[in-house]
Amino acid sequence: MSDIQITLPDGSTKSVPAGSTPIDVAKSISPRLADDALVARVNGDLYDLGRPIEADAKLEILTPRSNDPDALFVYRHSTAHLLAAAVMELYPETKLGVGPPIDNGFYYDFQRATPFTPEDLEKIEKRMWELQAKALPYARIMTEKNDGLSKYKEDWMKCELIQEKADATFSEYTLGPHFIDFCRGPHLPSTGKIKAFKLLSVAGAHWKGNEKNPALQRIYGTAWFNKKDLDAYLAKLEEAKKRDHRKLGQELDLFSIQELAGPGLIFFHPKGGRVRKILEDWMRDQYLARGYALVYTPHVMRRDLWKTSGHANFYSENMFTPMELDDAEYQLKPMNCPGHILIYRDKLRSYRDLPVRLGELGTVYRYERSGTMHGLLRVRGFTQDDAHIFCTPEQIESEVVNCLEFAIDVLKTYGFDSYEAEVSTWDGGASGKYDGSADQWQLAENALKRAVESLNIVAKVMPDEAAFYGPKIDMKLVDAIGRKWQLSTVQFDFTLPRRFGLEYIAEDGKAHQPLMVHRALYGSVERFFGILVEHYAGAFPVWLAPVQAVVMPITDRQLEYAQTVAKKLDDAGVRVHLDDRKEKVNLKIREAQLQKVPYMLVVGDREAAEGTVAVRNRKHGDQGAKPVAQFIADLQALVESKAVTE
Write the pLDDT tens digit of every residue in 558-603. 999 999 999 999 999 999 999 999 999 999 999 999 999 999 999 9
Helices 227-243 and 525-535 meet at what angle, rounded to 10? 120
Closest CA to 187 of 85, 91, 110, 92: 85
Has 151 been annotated as catalytic? Answer: no
Was domain 549-641 assigned CATH 3.30.1600.10?
no
366 in active site: yes
DSSP string, 387-419: EEEEE-GGGHHHHHHHHHHHHHHHHHHTT--EE
- pLDDT for the residue numbered 1: 60
pLDDT digits (tens, 9 = 90+) for 48-95: 999 999 999 999 999 999 989 999 999 999 999 999 999 999 999 999
Q: Which amino acid is at 523?
A: G
Residues 338 and 496: beta-carbon distance below 8 Å: yes
pLDDT digits (tens, 9 = 90+) for 7-18: 999 999 999 999
The neighbouring-strand residues paired with 518 are: 388, 491
Active site residue 231: no
Which amino acid type is present at position 551?
Answer: V
CA distance 111 to 213: 12
Q: Nearest to residue 112, comparing CAs of 210, 202, 172, 199?
A: 202
Pick the catalytic residue from 518, 519, 575, 596: 518
386, 435, 493, 579: which is the annotated catalytic residue?
386
CB 224 within 8 A of CB 233: yes
User: H or E stretch including 563?
Assistant: helix 559-571
pLDDT at residue 432 in the model = 85
Please tell me the predicted confidence (pLDDT) of residue 151: 84
User: How sure is the predictor about 549, in pLDDT bands with cuts at 50, 70 and 90?
Assistant: very high
Q: Is the pLDDT of residue 221 over 90?
A: yes
pLDDT (mean) for 19-36: 94
**Average pLDDT for 302-331:** 91
- pLDDT score at 313: 85
Of 417, 409, 421, nearest in space to 385 by CA = 409
Residue 52: per-residue pLDDT:
94
Question: Which backbone phi and psi does 281 adopt, to 5 degrees?
Answer: -60, -45
Instruction: Return d(Cα 467, Cα 447) in angstroms, integer.
Output: 16
N- to C-terminal Cα separation, the chain: 74
Could you say which of 337, 595, 596, 616 is catalytic? Answer: 337
Q: Please answer whether residues 39 and 64 qualify as being in contact, where contact means their C-beta atoms are separated by less than 8 angstroms.
A: no
Known active-site residue 595: no
Q: Whole-number mean pLDDT of the chain?
A: 94
Parallel/antiparallel/unpaired status of strands 511-512 and 504-505: antiparallel
Distance CA 52, CA 31 (A): 19
Is 384 considered catalytic here?
A: yes
Q: Cα(469)–Cα(272) distance, rounded to whole angstroms?
A: 36
Helix/strand/coil (H/E/C) assignment for every residue in 531-554: HHHHHCCCCCCCCCCCCCEEEEEC
Q: What is the pLDDT of residues 408-441, one digit of tens each?
A: 999 999 999 999 999 999 999 888 888 888 998 9
Read off the pLDDT of residues 160-205 as tens digits, 9 standing for 90 and up.
889 988 889 999 999 988 888 889 899 999 999 999 999 999 999 9
Look up the CATH number of domain 259-297+336-535.
3.30.930.10
Task: Say how many CA atoms lie within 13 Å of 198 toward its Cβ.
Answer: 14
Distance of CA 482 to the CA centre of its chain: 12
In the predicted structure, residue 39 carries a pLDDT above the cut 80? yes
Note whether 514 and 504 are within 8 A (CB). Answer: yes
Name which of 387, 382, 405 is nearest 293 in CA terms: 387
Query: CA-CA distance, 83 to 127, in Å (whole number)?
Result: 9
CATH topology of domain 70-242: Threonyl-tRNA Synthetase; Chain A, domain 2 (3.30.980)
Q: Out of 77, 366, 527, 616, which one is annotated catalytic?
A: 366
Q: Is pLDDT at 332 greater than 90 in this prediction?
A: yes
- Give the other-Cβ count within 10 Å of 490's Cβ: 29
Q: Which residues of 215-224 are buried (b: 16+ CB within 10 A; e: fewer)?
A: ebbbbbbbbb
Q: Which residues contact 344 (CB under 8 A, 6 or more apart)?
A: 356, 358, 388, 390, 502, 514
At 307, is the secondary structure helix, strand, or coil? helix
Given the DSSP bridges, would you call strands 293-294 and 356-365 parallel, antiparallel or unpaired? parallel
Question: Does residue 259 carry a pLDDT above 90?
Answer: yes
Q: How would residue 527 be classed by pLDDT, with cut points 50, 70 and 90?
A: very high
Which residues have CB under 8 Å from 488's CB, separation 6+?
Answer: 407, 410, 411, 474, 475, 519, 520, 521, 522, 523
Per-residue pLDDT band for 453 (boundaries 50, 70, 90) equals very high
The catalytically annotated residue of 472, 519, 588, 616 is: 472
> From the candidates 132, 217, 331, 384, which is the catalytic residue?
384
Per-residue pLDDT averaged across 254-259, rounded?
Answer: 96
What one-letter code names the amino acid at 144?
E
What pLDDT digit, counting tens, does each position of 91-128 carry? 999 999 999 999 899 999 999 999 999 999 999 999 99
**518 has catalytic annotation:** yes
Q: Is 472 a catalytic residue?
A: yes
Report d(CA 270, CA 379) in Å as an integer.
Answer: 20
Widest distance between CA atoms in the chain: 101
Cα–Cα dist 90/82, whole Å: 13
- CB count within 10 Å of CB 451 equals 24
The domain ranges of the chain are 3-67, 70-242, 259-297+336-535, 549-641
Q: Which amino acid is at 60?
A: E
Q: Average pLDDT of 146-167?
A: 87
User: Which strand (E) or helix (H) includes residue 41?
Assistant: strand 39-42
pLDDT for residue 280: 97
At residue 334, what is the residue type?
Answer: P
DSSP 329: E
Helix/strand/coil for 530:
helix
What is the rounded distance in angstroms from the CA atom of residue 558 to the CA atom of residue 550? 14
Domain 3-67: what homologous superfamily?
Beta-grasp domain (3.10.20.30)
As a whole number of angstroms, the distance between CA 37 and CA 18 comes to: 21
Phi/psi for 170 (5° steps) reads -130, 160
